[in-house]
Amino acid sequence: MAPLLEVQDLRIHFPTDDGLVKSVDGVTFSVERGSTLGIVGESGSGKSVTSLGIMGLHQGTSARITGEIKLDGEELVGADPDRVRELRGGKMAMIFQDPLSALHPYFKIGDQITEAYRIHQPGATKKQARQRAIDLLGRVGISRPSVQVDSYPHQFSGGMRQRVMIAMALSNDPELLIADEPTTALDVTVQAQILDLIRDLQSEFGSAVIIITHDLGVVAELADDILVMYAGRVAEYGTALDIFGQPSHPYTWGLLASMPRIDRARTTRLVPIPGTPPSLIQVPSGCPFHPRCRYASQTGGRSQSEVPPLREVTPGHLSACHLTAAQRTEFWAELSAGKVREDTREPA
Amino acid sequence: MISFIIRRLIAAVFLLIIVSMVVFGIFFILPRWGGQTTYGLATEYVGRNPTRSAVLQMIDQLGLNKPLYLQYWAYLKAIVVGGHYGTGVNSAYCPPPCFGYSFKNQQPVWPAMVSDIPVTLSLAIGAAIIWLIAGIGIGVVSALKRGSIFDRFSMTIALAGVSLPIFFTGLIALELFSYKWPIFPNVQFVPFTENPALWARNLVLPWVTLAFLYAALYARLTRAGMLETMGEDYIRTARAKGLPERTVIFKHGLRAALTPIITIFGMDLGLLLGGALLTEYTFSLHGLGLFTIEAVQNQDFPEIMGVVMLAAFFVVIANLVVDIVYAVADPRVRY
Amino acid sequence: MRRKTGVLAAVGVAVTLTAAACSSGSSSSNGGNNNSNTNAVAFNAGVTGTVNASSQKGGTITFDNSSAPDSTDAGNTYYAFNLNFTRLYATPLVTYKASTGAGGDQLVPGLATALGTASDGNKTWTYHIKSGVVFEDGTPVTSQDVKYAVERTFDRSVLPNGPTYFTSLLAGNAATYPGPFKNRAKNLMGLTAITTPNPTTIVFHLKQPFASFNYVVAFPQTAPVPPAKDKGTNYQLHPLSTGPYMFQSYQLNKQYTLVPNPKWNPSWDPQVKQLPSKIVVNLNVNANDIDNRLLAGDIQVDQAGTGVQAAARAKILSNPSLKANADNPVTGFMYFFYINTKVAPLNNIHCRMAIEYAANKTDLQTAYGGPIAGNIASTAMPPTVKGYSKFDLYNALSKPGGDIAAAKQQLQQCGQPNGFNLNVAYRSDRPREVSSSQALQESLASVGIKVTLKGYTSANYYGTFAGVPNYVHSHDLGMAAGGWGPDWPDAYGWGWALYDGASIAPAGNTNIAELNDPAVNSLFLQLEAASSDSAQNSIAAQIDKKVMQDAVILPGVYYKSLLYRPTDVTNVYVQTYYGMYDFATLGLKS
């Protein structure tokens, strides 16, 4: 069975007065029906831009998009904008990070949901749409939905608003749901509820979910597959088991090592990734991570000059790194034991 | 919502009372602080021939020797029940609402103002419709086509419109379109009830002159508001829902961008209803603005007081309406 | 008087006015315009004859005024344009001949059958009223209505604006008569100096001989007013007409409209015509706009009658086809500034003389409009007044830029060596007065006299502000801009209201300088008692000199106006006495 979503060498560049911003520069992945893909990376890694690109929300901007995005076999890059619009909110839906600003303050939430519904179900009457909205609100856990359907966004708490957004996104039974940092703006306890909700709905509706986050904990909860992005490129791609169990890229190691773990002793030092993400106009030559990579010296200078290709580590587990598989296994073992090698160069 | 409206109404009434106190204060208290005597103050209200007896009578009439609160009370009372002024042939009854009696013009102030209201109303509302349509329309298009030739061109013209004074554009308009090319000859106010076609035709130049200034302002405001609104997250959500771009722009974008403009519009219209002074003067239209200018030039205190109260009334009402409309538009404001 | 316009005196005219006035009983024979000259359209054609003579009826004539008349009540007005205009609905006992040139200064009968018959050594004057005259509502006009019309002007608190000759000349109880408004039961018809032996005869009894009395009667104060229908100050809203037109509507300060009076009979006043089917007067129109409207043909007449403003003047003079529609008459009046004698420090004559020397006369002339607006004046009476003699006490002609040295000397003498503060009143809707006041402010600044300008509207200038001595004193108005034309074309007609102490009035005052010089007062008395022309002329010259020595007026220019006549207006000519187009003969070409 073909994947629901196939993204092939996607590049999204923005020409600006300061230069060409290469927000996404050669990203390849796929999502199976009903599965969950987690896309992780720092700010500026290109994860949001990728998801907006899938949804066709760069239409009308100066973005130059090349590559392939196939939704259920249908090519979206270069497709007729009206066709993409038909799919948007219908077959594929998206929820965003800050539900207060993402909901229109002037319209009742019921009206905002029915609006999404009616645009994709032209035969639906107002009554039907309203009933659908009430049903959805109930399904996402809003109490007294037939009353709350006439409330305004500012009358809800953050968690409830995100539930509303989810209800709105699900109103047309999308096959693909993209959630862009859905819990970042919420309290930790509410975060858990929302993630549970997404998981429940996914199994109930059978939709595929792409969850974008910088929080590995979230990804660990939900994702079947994980895509690690850095500077607009794929660093590592594999199943959750692969990534957490046998991470195969220095950047992924950095992410994991910098994460506080409840199962480690509190005195173990967190190892942050030194440096800052690169400018997307002046992406470093060769491997984009090399200025911050502790192991760049081990590649015999290839990190500076050659772009590492995305190579298979094990079937289905890909990584873009010049280090050999053996080196990577070794270095990861050291890191997870808490040791740092002496002969590795501190990044400049 | 109802309680919101009621609260606003009560606030408006309070505001009007305070305005009447301030106006009263300006005309009856301030001069004293400036050293004006009771006699001198009364002289300003007596007509052409301030004989001693007439002045003394005016002191009596206005109660200028009585305590301030009684004077204020007399002033308020006159508004509600009317008053008598003068004696003999000069005596006059001023029916309610009585905003004073102008001896310089031998007529009560209220009817004189009321007869000027249709002119100002015609001018203000006609111009308002034009500037709303033109200003908001241009602002929206400029915002959507930001950076384009249309945008740059229209914003430059708008800058000119906001900077050029009305008496300049008005005089140019008259010179070109009334005298040089008689497209709108003989600009004079014709009442709507008398001849609607001529009423409109004679008002075109004043409308356009007045509207040019405001349209420019509103175009810039709308553009700025639209740009800000279109960058909001809920616009992205609307697009993500798959809504057609037109719906996104107008239902989701413009509606939010317009609410601050409503506030400004209410204020502008309220102020204009008190008299578009420069426009009326340039085109010799006898509205409240010209009434005000003449009253000030003639130092006719009752008329000045009356028109100040009336103008303040319009502003307070305009504010009230704007508050209510804003609450209807933006549900976050209703409590 | 007629603060605005004056009399056109053609060159070399030496009409013995007193003789002509009192002895001539001839009425004009032919109806309408007695000026038999008709001229083709050309520059100054209206000065010597009638342009576009026509008897065509119909059309609407529109007048625009930058301000408003002091009153539309004929008994309560003093502006020249209004003395001209009120003849459309108010016919006085005698009136001026509809003619250019010398003829225009002649008196002819109006409502009276003939000019007054004098008796008792010019102390008693008798007039007979034409029979069959009625008001617009059909009520017959009697001599009592004429008596009442004069009587009511005695109450200056109700009707403050008109001339005050009747109050000062009439005998009997005139000195104390309070007018018919107060205590009406007692005072109605109570003026003993006027008797009405029968419904068509009216007799005036004067305190002293006054040979020029017909001139006094020519004022619209003698246009009849029915006592039963008088409304005091509100009568102006609809005065009952005895002329060819009557009021249709009046919105105070905005507009009034006249329509033909169906009851009118042309024999009642052969000098006026009933041609247009409607006359509209728009008030408080932007002054510069009026010229534009006139040139564009949107309106027919500028009601103020003193000519176009500077911008239009330039346009007209530089464009031959426009210039052909213009007239540049000598108007017979002057622009000047009154210098008050009571407001400190001007109560000291040397401070006043300092002003006379310091002012820059050339700048003033430029402000009034330059040489086309007239020559620089140096006397208290213009050359068009009988008895004018040329002299120059303050070097206005020899040092037109101002004599600063002499001014500074005068300042020393009046104890203000560094100058002083001065308020100058002017009419803010008169662009000429705006610029001349500013010119005055600048030139006086050069000797340290700091001028603060105070602008007022024309409509209330004389009635409420500059013409009210109490107001002048309480607001320290040391100087006031003014323009004046003679009440009639001799030194008394010019100067009595300006310079005689007896003319000072509490409201509507014309002797704004408040000059009360016994020498001047007695000269005026001698003037009216003088028997010969040469005696009159010599007394006139003495009055002029003495007034200038008293330094109560800063002369500006002997004014010439530039008038514009749109091509569709008929029967246009410059009436000598009013110094502007005759408003009562105009018609419209279709």
- Tell me the pLDDT tens digit for each residue of A36-94: 999 998 888 889 999 999 999 998 888 999 999 999 989 999 899 999 999 998 899 99
**What does the pLDDT read at residue B111?**
86
Query: In sequence order, which ranges of C16-88 are alpha helices (DSSP H)?
Result: 17-23, 45-48, 80-85
Per DSSP, A345 falls in state P
Partner residue opposite B242 with nearest CB, options A89, A102, A152 = A89
C16 pLDDT band, cuts 50/70/90, is very low
Please compute the mean of the pLDDT values over residues C533-538 and round it to a whole number: 84
Distance of CA C52 to the CA centre of its chain: 27
CA dist C230 and C239 (Å) reads 8
Task: Tell me the per-residue pLDDT of B209-258, one tens digit each, with 9 for 90 and over.
Answer: 999 999 998 999 999 999 999 989 999 999 999 999 999 999 999 989 98
A265 pLDDT band, cuts 50/70/90, is low
CA dihedral C100, C104, C110, C116 (to 10 degrees): -160
Please compute the mean of the pLDDT values over residues C55-64 and round it to a whole number: 94
Percent of residues in chain B assigned helix, strand, coil, to nearest 5: 75, 5, 20
CA dist C284 and C271 (Å) reads 29
**Averaged pLDDT of chain C:** 88
Q: Which residues of A touch B332 (CB under 8 A)?
A: 105, 152, 154
**Domain co-membership, A203 together with A153:** no
Pairing of strands C245-251, C255-260: antiparallel
Are the C-beta atoms of B48 and C460 separated by less than 8 Å? yes
Residue A332's SS3 state is helix
**Domain co-membership, A278 together with A340:** yes
Question: Cβ separation of B331 and A86 shorter than 8 Å?
Answer: no
**What does the pLDDT read at residue C29?**
35
The number of C-beta contacts closer than 8 angstroms across B and C is: 90
**Domain co-membership, A63 together with A117:** no
Question: Cβ separation of B234 and A101 shorter than 8 Å?
Answer: yes
Nearest CA in chain C to B170: C289
**What does the pLDDT read at residue A190?**
86
CA dihedral B91, B97, B102, B108 (to 10 degrees): -60
The domain locations on chain B are 2-109, 117-286
**What does the pLDDT read at residue C9?**
31
Residues 253-292 of B with CB under 8 A from A: 255-256
In a domain, residue A136? The reply is yes
C486 pLDDT band, cuts 50/70/90, is confident
Q: What backbone phi and psi angles, to 5 degrees, belong to C338? A: -75, 140
CA dist B103 and B92 (Å) reads 10
Task: Tell me the per-residue pLDDT of C100-158, one tens digit each, with 9 for 90 and over.
Answer: 987 888 899 999 999 999 888 889 999 999 999 999 999 999 999 999 999 999 988 78
**What does the pLDDT read at residue C23?**
31
Task: Tell me the per-residue pLDDT of C420-464, one tens digit each, with 9 for 90 and over.
Answer: 999 999 998 888 899 999 999 999 999 999 999 999 988 778 878
**What does the pLDDT read at residue B48?**
58
In a domain, residue A336? The reply is yes
Tell me how far CA of residue C425 lies from CA of C211, C284, C340, C512, in angstroms. Answer: 36, 20, 11, 11
Q: Which residues of B touch C463 (CB under 8 A)?
A: 48
Per DSSP, B22 falls in state H
* ipTM for this prediction: 0.86
**Domain co-membership, A235 together with A328:** yes
Last residue within a domain, chosen from A171, A204, A227: A171
What share of chain C has pLDDT > 90, as a percent?
66
Angle in degrees, CA A313, A316, A318, rounded to 5: 45
List average pLDDT for each run of 10 residues in chain B, which is 335 residues long.
87 89 86 79 69 75 80 81 65 76 79 89 93 93 89 90 89 87 83 88 92 91 92 92 91 90 90 88 90 84 87 89 87 79
**What does the pLDDT read at residue A268?**
64
Beta-carbon contacts of B126 under 8 Å, excluding residues fewer than 6 positions away, are: B200, B203, B207
DSSP A256-322: HHTS--TTS-TTSPP-PPPS-PPPSSSPPSSSTTGGG-TTGGGGTTHHHHSPPP-EEEETTEEE--S
Nearest to A195 by CA among A207, A179, A206, A214: A179
Largest CA distance in chain C: 68
Chains that touch A (3 or more CB pairs under 8 A): B
Last residue within a domain, chosen from A136, A156, A171: A171
Give the domain range for residue A62: 1-91+174-348
Nearest to C209 by CA among C487, C514, C518, C526: C526
Nearest CA in chain A to B328: A106
Nearest to A25 by CA among A5, A49, A6: A49
More confident residue, C582 or B183: C582
Task: Tell me the per-residue pLDDT of A150-190, one tens digit each, with 9 for 90 and over.
Answer: 999 999 988 899 999 999 999 998 999 999 998 888 888 88
Highest mean pLDDT among A195-199, B159-163, C555-559: C555-559
A279 pLDDT band, cuts 50/70/90, is confident
**What does the pLDDT read at residue C128?**
96
**Domain co-membership, A160 together with A212:** no
Residues 149-188 of B with CB under 8 A from A: none
**Domain co-membership, A164 together with A178:** no
**Domain co-membership, A165 together with A191:** no
Nearest to C368 by CA among C304, C442, C438: C438
In a domain, residue A264? The reply is yes
Beta bridge partner(s), residue C581: C574
Q: How many CB atoms lie within 10 A of CB C429?
A: 23
Beta bridge partner(s), residue C128: C201
The count of domains in chain A is: 2
Task: Tell me the per-residue pLDDT of A9-32, one tens digit each, with 9 for 90 and over.
Answer: 999 999 998 889 999 999 999 999
Secondary structure element (H or E) that encloses residue C336, with its range = strand C330-339
What share of chain C has pLDDT > 70, as a percent?
94
pTM of the model: 0.73
Please compute the mean of the pLDDT values over residues C20-32 and round it to a whole number: 34
**Domain co-membership, A118 together with A264:** no
More confident residue, B287 or A341: B287
C11 pLDDT band, cuts 50/70/90, is very low
Are the C-beta atoms of B24 and B312 separated by less than 8 Å? no
**What does the pLDDT read at residue B50?**
64
Residue type, B136: I
Please compute the mean of the pLDDT values over residues C250-277 and round it to a whole number: 94
In a domain, residue A96? The reply is no
In a domain, residue A99? The reply is no
Question: Cβ separation of C471 and B50 shorter than 8 Å?
Answer: yes
**Averaged pLDDT of chain A:** 87
More confident residue, C304 or A187: C304
Per DSSP, C572 falls in state B
Q: Which of A254-263, B146-155, C510-519 has the lowest mean pLDDT?
A: A254-263
**Domain co-membership, A41 together with A119:** no
A269 pLDDT band, cuts 50/70/90, is low
Tell me how far CA of residue B102 lies from CA of A184, B92, B98, in angstroms. Answer: 70, 10, 11
**Domain co-membership, A26 together with A164:** no
Tell me how far CA of residue B108 lies from CA of B278, B306, C79, C239, in angstroms. Answer: 25, 10, 26, 20
Are the C-beta atoms of C63 and C299 separated by less than 8 Å? yes
- The CATH class given to the B117-286 domain equals mainly alpha
Question: Cβ separation of B297 and C474 shorter than 8 Å?
Answer: no
Distance of CA C205 to the CA centre of its chain: 25
**What does the pLDDT read at residue C18?**
32
CA dist B237 and A52 (Å) reads 11
Are the C-beta atoms of C187 and C227 separated by less than 8 Å? no
Partner residue opposite C428 with nearest CB, options B50, B179, B297 = B297
**Domain co-membership, A131 together with A229:** no
Residues of C near B (Cβ–Cβ under 8 Å) read 156-158, 160, 181-182, 232-234, 251-254, 282, 284-286, 289, 292-293, 295-299, 428-429, 455-457, 459-460, 463-464, 468, 470-471, 474, 506-508
Beta bridge partner(s), residue A225: A37, A239
Q: Is the peptide bond before C345 cis (omega within 30 degrees of 0)?
A: yes
**What does the pLDDT read at residue A324?**
85
Beta bridge partner(s), residue B92: B85
**What does the pLDDT read at residue A253?**
86
Are the C-beta atoms of B154 and B320 separated by less than 8 Å? no
Are the C-beta atoms of B113 and B194 separated by less than 8 Å? no
Distance from CA of A170 to the nearest CA of B (A): 10
C36 pLDDT band, cuts 50/70/90, is low
Last residue within a domain, chosen from A117, A151, A171: A171
Tokens representing residue B317 in the block: 């009402």
For residue A193, pLDDT over 60 is answered with: yes
Sign of CA dihedral C149, C306, C575, C265: negative
**Domain co-membership, A255 together with A324:** yes
CATH code (residue A278): 3.40.50.300
Distance from CA of B131 to the nearest CA of A (A): 25
Percent of residues in chain A assigned helix, strand, coil, to nearest 5: 35, 20, 40
Beta-carbon contacts of B197 under 8 Å, excluding residues fewer than 6 positions away, are: none
